[in-house]
Structure 1
Amino acid sequence: MIWEIEDGPRVIEGLDHRGRPRPEYAAALGLVPAPIGRRMLATVIEALAVGLLQLPMLIFGLPAILSAVGQPDPVAAFLARPGVGWVIASLVVPYAATTVFLLVQLILLGRRGVTLGKAFVGIRMVNVKTLERPTFWRGAVVRYLIQVASFALPLLGPLLVIALSPLFDSQRRRRGWPDRAAATYLVDIRRGLNPYDAKRMRIARKTVATDLRDEKTSLPSLATPASGPATDVYIPVARKSGGVVGAPKDRRPAGAADAADDHRAAPIQGAPFAVESPAEAPAPSREPVVVADAASPRPSAMPSAPASAETLLPAAQGAWSPPELMTAAERSGSLQLDSGDELTIPAGGAVLGRAPSTTGADAGALAVPIVDPTKSISKTHLALRWVEGALAAVDLGSTNGSAIIRDGREIDLAPGSPAELRSGDTLRFGDRHASVRLP
């Protein structure tokens, strides 16, 4: 028997306790209300398009009908006109074209929140609660019918319903009567965020959610102070994938004092990743942060890494010949992160991500957690491996991908395939960048 587990009702962000949309949430995401002038211009453009489709009927069909109305037998008089076939075509074809045009407009409005006029002036329509595409019947059809009904009063109706009603919005989002009836919201994508850009919208939602949850707190340093009681000092006793676990100095096992003093953790002010220093921490300085792992030996080469140059960058991107094999001690390279910090790649390689896991082929690599509030970096995003003495980058199936920027060209990395890094390359992972420095 297969049991189905329901996740429950969907939780919609940006609603108050009564289920009403909060304008400040949409503003925090970067959505900007569409100006009334461009909304009116969009309506005029769509009306002109309908008028253009109806132009043959107005020129040929309507005069023929009016001339036949005054005759004793209007139908016979109409059919007796010379070129009656063209007159009938001038009535049928514009009618069919206008019907198709309006149906396409409604479908695009319900699916993508855009019509011909809205696309031209740079505005989009979304559901006011979910900030996603509106529903077809209520969001598109109901709104359209209200706007068409306003033309029953020539000039005054459209002026009141389309132009003036947005001014009565108490929330100052310029939602007119058609928008309230259809539960829609018109936004300006030229000055604000495009709600149909899925990637940017996802990042904006995560950023707002992170800002609401996170509370900035000052964490105590694990560094050994220059002076002070010994009971306030913490030393590293075990290495985990997320960093170093500390224990009070006065609780160290007997005989471990000398070994522990050689592996104190150095303080890093504002560093975007967790690091460990093999030497005693000096006073804070502006020197680059060097990541090294002295707690455990590193293998000289990754056993599962490919050994041929064909698995690196394609020949079309630049010829490459494997360098001479180097020992683990001779391998050296570093990354200059966009935050200004420097990461030295150890002999066993490194794995980058928000909460990287070093398993499988990267079991001996150094895990480097990187703080990324926008969450454009995956938990286990990118691996740096030494392949035949060359430093290679391997995308580990990340969500937003990785790439190498070389000579002004961006080369996307195929997940799981090592790509050689050269000195001067720029490595992109998610929305972060790092410069490659090799001897």
Structure 2
Amino acid sequence: MIWEIEDGPRAVEGLDERGRPRPEYAAALGLVSAPIGRRVLATFAEVLFVTILQLPLLIGALPALISLAGSATPIDDLFGRGDAVWIIVFAGVPYALTTVFIIVQLVLLGRRGVTLGKALTGLRAVNVATLERPKFWRGAVVRYLVLSASFLLPLIGPLLVIALSPLFDPQRRRRGWPDLAAAMWIVDIKKGLNPYDAKRMRIARKTVATDLKDEKASLPSLATPVSAPTFDVYIPVARNRGGVVGAPRERTGAASAGDVEYAGPPAPIQASPFAGPADPYAQPAPLPSRGPQAPVVPVEPARPAPEPAASVLPASPPPAAAPSAASASAPVPAGHPVSETFSVASETLLPQGETWSPPSLMEGEREASLRSAPAPVAASLVIDTGETVTLGTEGAVIGRSPRTTGEDAAAAPIAVPDTTMSVSKTHVALRWRDGSLVAVDLGSTNGSAVLRGGAESELTPGVAMPLRSGDTLRFGDRHATISIA
């Protein structure tokens, strides 16, 4: 057996540099302040119960005791009555029951932070600094003394201490004067986390201590810098069977939306005798400078004599193709938003008897569909140990010794060691559905949940729950952060 000895006092989480509790830490854990209405209702329920215990005294014994108040010998007169035994019973039993009830209330408040009224209204009391059970003397006894003193002023005292004093809390946590004196905080377990659920409280503290916001490292941006040059005119310079290959032209000055300038036809490309229908290694001619352009006349470059088995096609298209060239050079109205493009067939060295044909419509549609296909979504899992696991397209199965079967047969198993055995062998699965990442509990023993914005949502076994980037997936006592690009 190994004994651990603490060297100093235990560090209390959630305190500032002056040792004062931070409300934002409690809010990050999921604790919610109790509403004033239910606090008043809880006190009223306890007072009503004490009144019911006192009914025998008020109905059976009090009238007789009032009649003996003016007697010179009240004790002799009391025992001289025939109903003296009943008067003593009606006076003593309610007093004993009320004393036992108050002692039980103090013990429950100091040990479990609950009383009869708080149990009925869904409230709990915790120490404001440690967020654990309040101490017996400072928490329970002092608070009841302040509450009892408020009833010395009928109606006004309870109204001021119980109903109005929580409105003056400087931290806006609805802590009244009895709570301030007892260093106590009343929380709502119906709308927030139950601080006496040790398992959930431990997971919440680990989640906050991990500081999830700092684990997501900032990645370099792939966006074009603002100061980079912009391109707005597309000028095709060559053509092959795959389509038009073009080069963007850099904008050097300010221009309106319809400012489109014709740069003239490009210079002919020197065809290689070893190339096929189009030479992919041919270098395009330099683009002309911006500004008024003079007519450019294509010049036939010098090249070696062709082989007898091949013939060189003319540099310019035959007269039958003139209408397409004319339509390509038709003037564009001023201010037209569509950029002017044109296609010029490059000189191609083809075998004798073969002619060039444009790409088919089906091939163009296929390439367009490939370009418009969405990129796969990338996701990663940051486990509480600091390990980062990248999720593939087939998903993953998490557990102590996960088995991938059925729908998750192709998923990647992620083994998470857990000495407390809170994680099942095959605990939870991460799957891709319609481009979104979902989590499915696989019937685990301790269950799974998703923490988002301080709220926790339990996973129903076999039911998928969508995940977002930044969510925390809890499986047993372990947790991991989801990051979706």
Q: TM-score by structure 2 length?
A: 0.51
Q: Deviations over 1:38-96 (max 9, x none)?
A: 11111111001111111101111111111122233211111111121121111111111
Instruction: Find the counterpart in structure 2 of residue 13 from structure 1.
Output: 13
| TM superposition shift of 1:7 | 3.3
| TM superposition shift of 1:272 | 3.0
* More divergent stretch after superposition (73-82 vs 118-127): 73-82
Structure 2: distance between partners of 1:138 and 1:84? 42
1:124 counterpart SS class: strand
Cα pair distance change 1:212/1:7, threshold 3 Å? farther
What is the count of residue pairs matched by the alignment? 280
Instruction: Find the counterpart in structure 1 of residue 52 from structure 2.
Output: 52
Matched, 1:90 2:90: yes
Instruction: Find the counterpart in structure 2 of residue 152 from structure 1.
Output: 152
| Contact kept in structure 1, 2:14 and 2:22, CA below 8 Å | yes
For residues 95-134 of structure 1, the aligned pairs below 5 Å read 95-134=95-134
Matched, 1:269 2:378: yes
Structure 1: distance between partners of 2:396 and 2:106? 59
Structure 1: distance between partners of 2:39 and 2:59? 30
Q: Deviations over 1:362-391 (max 9, x none)?
A: xxxxxxxxxxxxxxxxxx14xxxxxxxxxx
Cα pair distance change 1:402/1:155, threshold 3 Å? farther
Structure 1: distance between partners of 2:475 and 2:202? 17
Instruction: Find the counterpart in structure 2 of residue 398 from structure 1.
Output: 421
Amino acid at match of 1:194: N
Instruction: Find the counterpart in structure 2 of residue 318 from structure 1.
Output: none
Instruction: Find the counterpart in structure 2 of residue 288 from structure 1.
Output: 394
Structure 2: distance between partners of 1:212 and 1:275? 13
Structure 2: distance between partners of 1:276 and 1:107? 48
Instruction: Find the counterpart in structure 2 of residue 365 from structure 1.
Output: none
1:214 counterpart SS class: helix
Cα pair distance change 1:214/1:63, threshold 3 Å? same
Q: Which runs of 5+ in 2 are unaligned?
A: 221-375, 429-440, 447-460, 464-473, 480-485
| Contact kept in structure 1, 2:29 and 2:208, CA below 8 Å | yes
| TM superposition shift of 1:214 | 3.0
| TM superposition shift of 1:275 | 10
Q: Which runs of 5+ in 1 are unaligned?
A: 221-266, 278-283, 292-304, 306-330, 346-350, 354-379, 382-395, 414-423, 434-439
Structure 2: distance between partners of 1:201 and 1:25? 13
Structure 2: distance between partners of 1:397 and 1:3? 19
Amino acid at match of 2:141: V
| TM superposition shift of 1:431 | 7.2
Q: Deviations over 1:305-339 (max 9, x none)?
A: 9xxxxxxxxxxxxxxxxxxxxxxxxx9847739xx
Q: Deviations over 1:236-286 (max 9, x none)?
A: xxxxxxxxxxxxxxxxxxxxxxxxxxxxxxx99324388999xxxxxx9x8
Structure 2: distance between partners of 1:276 and 1:197? 30
Structure 1: distance between partners of 2:389 and 2:75? 95
Q: Deviations over 1:414-435 (max 9, x none)?
A: xxxxxxxxxx989x952799xx
Structure 2: distance between partners of 1:118 and 1:332? 47
Structure 2: distance between partners of 1:4 and 1:43? 43
| TM superposition shift of 1:400 | 4.9
| Contact kept in structure 1, 2:131 and 2:195, CA below 8 Å | yes
Q: Deviations over 1:320-361 (max 9, x none)?
A: xxxxxxxxxxx9847739xxxx5256xxxxx710xxxxxxxx
User: CA RMSD of the aligned region, Å?
Assistant: 3.9
| TM superposition shift of 1:5 | 4.6
| TM superposition shift of 1:215 | 3.2
Structure 1: distance between partners of 2:192 and 2:148? 29
Structure 1: distance between partners of 2:135 and 2:121? 22
Instruction: Find the counterpart in structure 1 of residue 191 from structure 2.
Output: 191
Instruction: Find the counterpart in structure 1 of residue 415 from structure 2.
Output: 352
Q: Deviations over 1:110-140 (max 9, x none)?
A: 0111100011111111000001100000100
Matched, 1:343 2:389: no
The sequence identity of aligned pairs, in percent, is 60
| Contact kept in structure 1, 2:380 and 2:389, CA below 8 Å | no
Amino acid at match of 2:137: W
For residues 214-233 of structure 1, the aligned pairs below 5 Å read 214-217=214-217
Instruction: Find the counterpart in structure 1 of residue 208 from structure 2.
Output: 208
| TM superposition shift of 1:206 | 1.3
Instruction: Find the counterpart in structure 1 of residue 36 from structure 2.
Output: 36
